[in-house]
Amino acid sequence: DAGVTQSPTHLIKTRGQQVTLRCSPKSGHDTVSWYQQALGQGPQFIFQYYEEEERQRGNFPDRFSGHQFPNYSSELNVNALLLGDSALYLCASSLGTGVDEQFFGPGTRLTVL
């Protein structure tokens, strides 16, 4: 049983570009949450998708958007990249809201130059 997978592993972009990160949830899970972890900080909640809709959102600008597909996989899109968007982006999957447990992927390391 595959756990949560994310692609790509690493990514380098320049300021102003756009990026798409992908996440496949653990088998049987229907909810995907995205987090940003900047250096020296804990993961910060970006948003959560359930039934192909954004259910909750953290304090991130509209440049951060997402999508969930019928197979429950998800994408995180970031437009007009800033240097400060350089971080590890984690995806977590769960059944329902995930208040009881979330399973994390290994993350995508984004570097913005």
Partner 1 sequence: ILNVEQSPQSLHVQEGDSTNFTCSFPSSNFYALHWYRWETAKSPEALFVMTLNGDEKKKGRISATLNTKEGYSYLYIKGSQPEDSATYLCAFTDSWGKFQFGAGTQVVVTP
Residues that bind partner 1 in the complex, under the rule CB under 8 A: 3-4, 33, 35, 40-45, 48, 56, 58, 90, 92, 94, 96-107
Shortest separation between residue 44's beta carbon and partner 1, angstroms: 7
Q: How many CB atoms lie within 10 A of CB 65?
A: 16
Taking Cα atoms as reference points, which of 95, 112, 111, 93 lies closest to residue 35? 93
Q: Which is nearer to partner 1, 66 or 105 (CB)?
A: 105
Taking Cα atoms as reference points, which of 45, 62, 60, 61 lies closest to residue 98? 45
Taking Cα atoms as reference points, which of 88, 70, 78, 93 lies closest to residue 5? 93
Question: Taking a C-beta distance cutoff of 8 angstroms, is the pair 9, 108 a contact?
Answer: yes
Q: Which is nearer to partner 1, 54 or 79 (CB)?
A: 54
Shortest separation between residue 89's beta carbon and partner 1, angstroms: 13
Q: Which is nearer to partner 1, 87 or 90 (CB)?
A: 90
Shortest separation between residue 14's beta carbon and partner 1, angstroms: 26
Shortest separation between residue 19's beta carbon and partner 1, angstroms: 21
